């Protein structure tokens, strides 16, 4: 059947004898109505309100239409809802839900002064672009870009949110450190070719504790993978020790972070341990020669991968200041020998070789899933501006989108079918809900679909969040 498509009416294939007709005349309908759950999280944590406090605003107060808080909320909520590009916000300006999430008193934008702005409650891409591109030395005399991000305050806030997530002081905290590639396709500041990844990229550093994000630092790809790690660890450890004086902290990372200065730093502080991967060499392989022979024999008799572990003391000829505990994994697979090593300050009496390697060190792989979640689901790799500083700001926005979604997991989804779901799944099932929006003088009405498949879960999550008292 030949279909007819006009601005007034669309005809689709018939359903039996019934014609199927479509029109874009449903009124103010949003496809992101479930974003109000994130707003409920924000009202109880004030994460984004405090993030806005990490910016200096040099604009003329009498001419401000979009506050820093509104711009920050718009950008972070947009990422959480799946909008990675600033261009998306020109379309989102018509969405009443985005006006609500941005805390606009006129979420429909119908009362805006300029006729061309009416019906557009939130900022457009040009305003958001000026926010991201403001240089560090901007002031009240700058022409357009006058909102300055204070990176140190943002870094402190990430750690503060982590500390606040605990109702009482933990006895132990594990800090996972890792670096990843952030591919670049333009001529961005700090662009270098990385031989390992075979591409031009940034090399951002992440520090997690479980699912909690504590650090997201954009770095050039020509830096040492461990570059800046000691400074970041020292900053975070100081905050954690100040909040929880008796806490034990364990730093965990792959061989890229096995550096004398980092290990010495940990050894010099009380209740600060480490477990790092250790690059293999001929001396190390020789140390586990007998164990590798045992593993080979087991494999040949069972035809299954075999592992044998060995605990020993080791010191490099030049780079290490002292002898340290090393665990060697003598593994034999179908493809042959696969030796691996870790170095640690944890005593063998506390964790034997197998437990330390298999149960503790290998658990760091979960951090890679968190990094992928942020990059793939929350656009942490969308660092396409020309300047390093503005790309770092984009990484901050993505990081706080992650922190906000994780807060929803922690506060509202625990014990539910989405307790361990990644952000794209949560977005699909809880955020991407169609709703008709009506705005009156006293109320914002949201009419959700009666056939919404996750209605009970949505109501359960909301009820949990409402049990948490909002500050003030």
Q: pLDDT per residue over 134-164, tens digit each?
A: 999 999 999 889 999 999 999 999 999 999 9
**pLDDT tens sequence across 45-61:** 999 999 999 999 999 99
Rg (CA), the chain: 26
Please indicate, yes or no, whether residues 203 and 351 belong to a single structural domain of this protein. yes
DSSP code of residue 5: B
Report which of 219, 229, 228 is spatially closest to residue 192, judged by C-alpha positions: 219
DSSP code of residue 105: S
Name the maximum alpha-carbon separation found in the chain. Answer: 85
| Four-residue CA torsion sign, 370, 385, 156, 203 | positive
Distance of CA 205 to the CA centre of its chain: 12
Answer for the pair 31, 83: CB distance below 8 angstroms, yes or no.
no
Please indicate, yes or no, whether residues 402 and 366 belong to a single structural domain of this protein. no
Sheet holding 444-448, edge to edge: 29-30, 435-439, 444-448
Domain end position, chosen among 326, 351, 375: 375
Domain end position, chosen among 323, 357, 375: 375
- Is 306 within a domain? yes
Q: Record the tokens describing residue 137, joined without a space.
A: 């030395």
Please indicate, yes or no, whether residues 188 and 313 belong to a single structural domain of this protein. yes
Between strands 147-149 and 55-57, the pairing is: antiparallel
Q: How far apart are CA 235 and CA 231, in angstroms?
A: 6
Please indicate, yes or no, whether residues 82 and 201 belong to a single structural domain of this protein. no
Average pLDDT over residues 72-98: 95
Please indicate, yes or no, whether residues 370 and 451 belong to a single structural domain of this protein. no
Report which of 66, 69, 43, 75 is spatially closest to residue 400, judged by C-alpha positions: 75
Q: Which of 27-31, 75-79, 93-97, 270-274 has the lowest mean pLDDT?
A: 27-31
Place of tokens 């090593």: 341
Answer for the pair 276, 255: CB distance below 8 angstroms, yes or no.
yes
Q: Is 390 helix (H, G, I), strand (E, B) or coil?
A: helix
Q: How far apart are CA 74 and CA 121, in angstroms?
A: 11
Please indicate, yes or no, whether residues 117 and 186 belong to a single structural domain of this protein. no
Please indicate, yes or no, whether residues 218 and 287 belong to a single structural domain of this protein. yes
Question: Which pLDDT belongs to residue 114?
Answer: 81
Answer for the pair 329, 307: CB distance below 8 angstroms, yes or no.
yes
DSSP code of residue 427: I
DSSP code of residue 469: P
Query: Is the pLDDT at 4 greater than 70, yes or no?
Result: no
Q: Is 437 helix (H, G, I), strand (E, B) or coil?
A: strand
Please indicate, yes or no, whether residues 316 and 446 belong to a single structural domain of this protein. no
- Is 472 within a domain? no
Answer for the pair 48, 42: CB distance below 8 angstroms, yes or no.
yes
Query: Is the pLDDT at 1 greater than 50, yes or no?
Result: no
Hey, how many other C-beta atoms are within 10 angstroms of the C-beta on 78? Answer: 26
Report which of 394, 399, 393, 426 is spatially closest to residue 412, judged by C-alpha positions: 426
- Is 13 within a domain? no
Domain end position, chosen among 333, 350, 375: 375
Query: Is the pLDDT at 2 greater than 60, yes or no?
Result: no
Question: Which pLDDT belongs to residue 6?
Answer: 46
Q: List the CATH number of the domain containing 313.
A: 3.90.350.10
**pLDDT tens sequence across 272-306:** 999 999 999 999 999 999 999 999 999 999 999 99
- Report the half-sphere exposure of 298 (CA within 13 A, side-chain side): 16
- Is 264 within a domain? yes
Please indicate, yes or no, whether residues 371 and 389 belong to a single structural domain of this protein. no
Tally of domains within the chain? 2
Q: How far apart are CA 157 and CA 470, in angstroms?
A: 19
Please indicate, yes or no, whether residues 361 and 450 belong to a single structural domain of this protein. no
Give backbone dihedrals phi and psi of 78, rounded to 5 degrees, phi first: -60, -45
- Is 96 within a domain? yes
Q: How far apart are CA 249 and CA 270, in angstroms?
A: 9
What band does 327 get if pLDDT is binned at 50, 70 and 90?
A: very high
- Is 18 within a domain? no
Q: How far apart are CA 331 and CA 311, in angstroms?
A: 15
Query: Is the pLDDT at 370 greater than 80, yes or no?
Result: yes
Please provide the DSSP assignment of 132-156 as one string: HH--TT--TT-SS--EEE-HHHHHH
**pLDDT tens sequence across 175-227:** 999 999 999 999 999 999 999 999 999 999 999 999 999 999 999 999 888 99
Query: Is the pLDDT at 268 greater than 70, yes or no?
Result: yes
Report which of 339, 343, 395, 447 is spatially closest to residue 75, judged by C-alpha positions: 395
- Is 23 within a domain? no
Q: How far apart are CA 215 and CA 367, in angstroms?
A: 13
Query: Is the pLDDT at 7 greater than 70, yes or no?
Result: no
Residue-number span of the structural domain to which 108 is assigned: 29-151+385-466
- Is 288 within a domain? yes
Please indicate, yes or no, whether residues 52 and 106 belong to a single structural domain of this protein. yes
Question: Which residue did the predictor score with more confidence, 249 or 85?
Answer: 249
Q: Record the tokens describing residue 255, joined without a space.
A: 């061989």
Hey, how many other C-beta atoms are within 10 angstroms of the C-beta on 175? Answer: 24
Task: Classify burial at 391, counting beta carbons within 10 Å of its beta carbon; exposed 0-12, middle 13-18, buried 19 or more.
Answer: buried
Report which of 405, 385, 365, 362 is spatially closest to residue 182, judged by C-alpha positions: 385
Please indicate, yes or no, whether residues 297 and 325 belong to a single structural domain of this protein. yes
Q: How far apart are CA 75 and CA 81, in angstroms?
A: 10
Q: Is 273 helix (H, G, I), strand (E, B) or coil?
A: strand
């Amino acid at each position: 059947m030949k279909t007819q498509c006009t601005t007034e009416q669309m005809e689709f294939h018939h359903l039996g004898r019934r014609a199927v007709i479509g029109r874009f005349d449903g009124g103010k309908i949003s496809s992101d109505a479930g974003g109000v759950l994130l707003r409920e999280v924000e009202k109880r944590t004030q994460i984004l309100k405090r993030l806005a406090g990490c910016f200096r605003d040099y604009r003329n107060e009498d001419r401000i239409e979009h506050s820093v808080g509104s711009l920050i909320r718009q950008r972070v909520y947009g990422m959480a809802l799946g909008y990675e590009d600033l261009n998306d916000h020109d379309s989102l300006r018509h969405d009443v839900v985005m006006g609500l999430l941005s805390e606009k008193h006129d979420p429909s934008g119908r009362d805006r002064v300029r006729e061309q702005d009416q019906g557009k409650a939130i900022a457009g891409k040009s305003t958001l672009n000026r926010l991201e591109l403001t240089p560090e030395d901007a002031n009240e005399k700058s022409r357009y870009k006058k909102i300055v991000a204070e990176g140190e305050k943002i870094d402190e806030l990430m750690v503060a949110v982590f500390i606040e997530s605990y109702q009482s002081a933990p006895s132990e905290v594990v800090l996972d450190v890792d670096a990843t590639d952030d591919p670049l396709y333009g001529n961005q500041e700090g662009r270098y070719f990385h031989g390992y990844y075979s591409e031009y990229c940034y090399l951002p550093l992440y520090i997690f504790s479980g699912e909690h994000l504590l650090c997201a630092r954009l770095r050039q790809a020509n830096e040492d993978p461990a570059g800046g790690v000691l400074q970041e660890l020292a900053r975070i450890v100081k905050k954690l020790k100040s909040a929880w004086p008796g806490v034990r902290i364990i730093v965990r990372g792959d061989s890229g972070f096995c550096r004398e200065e980092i290990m010495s730093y940990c050894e010099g502080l009380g209740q600060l341990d480490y477990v790092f991967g250790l690059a293999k060499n001929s001396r190390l392989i020789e140390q586990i020669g007998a164990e590798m022979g045992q593993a080979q024999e087991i494999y040949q008799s069972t035809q299954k991968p075999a592992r044998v572990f060995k605990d020993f003391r080791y010191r490099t000829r030049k780079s290490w200041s002292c002898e340290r505990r090393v665990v060697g994994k003598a593994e034999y697979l179908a493809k042959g020998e696969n030796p691996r090593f870790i170095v640690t300050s944890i005593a063998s009496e506390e964790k034997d070789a197998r437990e330390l390697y298999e149960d503790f060190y290998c658990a760091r792989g979960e951090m890679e899933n968190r990094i992928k979640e942020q990059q793939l689901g929350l656009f942490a790799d969308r660092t396409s501006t020309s300047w390093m500083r503005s790309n770092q700001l984009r990484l901050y926005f993505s990081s706080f989108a992650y922190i906000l979604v994780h807060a929803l997991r922690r506060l509202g989804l625990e014990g539910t079918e989405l307790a361990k779901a990644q952000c794209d799944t949560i977005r699909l099932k809880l955020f991407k809900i169609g709703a008709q929006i009506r705005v009156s003088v006293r109320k914002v009405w949201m009419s959700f679909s009666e056939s919404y498949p996750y209605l009970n879960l949505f109501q359960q999550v909301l009820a949990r969040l409402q049990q948490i008292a909002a500050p003030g």
